[in-house]
Amino acid sequence: MEFFRIRRDIPFMKHALVFNVISFLTFAAAVFFLWHKGLHLSIEFTGGTVMEVSYQQAADLEKIRGQVGKLGYTDVQVQNFGTSRDVMIRLPLQKGPEGKPVTSAQQSEQVMGALQAASPEVKLQRVEFVGPQVGKELATDGLLALLCVVAGIMIYLSFRFEWKFAVAGIIANLHDVVIILGFFAYFQWEFSLSVLAAVLAVLGYSVNESVVIFDRVRENFRKFRKMSTHEVIDSAITGTISRTIITHGSTQMMVLSMFFFGGPTLHYFALALTVGILFGIYSSVFVAAALAMWLGVKREDLVKGDKKGDSTDRNDPNYGAQA
**What pLDDT digit, counting tens, does each position of 283-294 carry?**
888 888 899 889
Averaged over 179-186, what is the pLDDT?
A: 94
Domains and CATH numbers, the chain: 12-39+134-302 (1.20.1640.10), 48-130 (3.30.70.3400)
pTM above 0.95?
Answer: no
pLDDT over 90 percentage in the chain: 23
Q: Residue 117, SS3?
A: helix
Averaged over 210-222, what is the pLDDT?
A: 87
pLDDT of residue 304: 59
Confidence of residue 272 (pLDDT cuts 50, 70, 90): very high
Q: Which segments of the chain does DSSP mark as H helices, in order?
A: 16-36, 43-46, 61-69, 104-118, 132-160, 163-187, 193-223, 229-239, 241-261, 264-282, 289-294, 299-302
Strand order in the sheet with 123-130: 77-81, 83-92, 48-54, 123-130
Q: Would you say 242 and 4 are in contact if contact means Cβ atoms under 8 Å apart?
A: yes
For residue 32, the number of C-alpha atoms closer than 13 Å in the C-beta half-sphere is 6
CB atoms within 10 A of CB 247: 17
pLDDT exceeds 60 at position 323: no
